[in-house]
Amino acid sequence: MVKVIYRSSFARVTEGDTMGRADILRAIKDSESEATKIQSDAEAKATETVSNARVKAAESLSSGRQGADKEASKMMNNARAAAEKEAESVAADGEAELERVANDGKKNRSKAADAVLTAFRKD
């Protein structure tokens, strides 16, 4: 049996409660078990926190990629629409010019034919 002795503020030693050796060893063992449980719980919580952080990081990365892909697709569609509009404008201008040349050609056919015939007749 072990005696626990407390020292008072007057430097006198007083005898306190007595605890048996088995009680002390049991208290130490219980404290060690509790410390082990606390450590195990802390490690589990740390693992869970890291796992949750990885999941959130993966979700954030996926969300960022989806946003970037969506924005890139939008930019491509806008560029494609602008190019199609420009192509339609150029095609319309080309059609108008072609029509003008064809009409001028129709107007000048008789003059051209007369010029060719006149050139043949002179020879």
Under 8 Å between Cβ of 16 and 3 = yes
Give residue-wise pLDDT tens across range 22-49: 888 999 999 999 999 999 999 999 999 9
- How far apart, in whole angstroms, are the C-alpha atoms of residue 91 and residue 97? 10
Collapsed DSSP state (helix, strand, coil) of residue 60: helix
Under 8 Å between Cβ of 36 and 25 = no
- Is residue 109 pLDDT above 90, yes or no? no
Q: What is the largest CA-CA distance in the chain?
A: 153
Give residue-wise pLDDT tens across range 58-99: 999 999 999 999 999 999 999 999 999 999 999 999 999 999
Q: What is the pLDDT of residue 22?
A: 85
Main-chain dihedrals φ then ψ at residue 10, nearest 5 degrees: -100, 15
- Domain ranges, ordered by start, for the chain: 2-6+15-106
- How far apart, in whole angstroms, are the C-alpha atoms of residue 18 and residue 3? 5
Give this prediction's pTM.
Answer: 0.47
**Which band of pLDDT confidence, cut at 50, 70 and 90, is reported for residue 10?**
very low
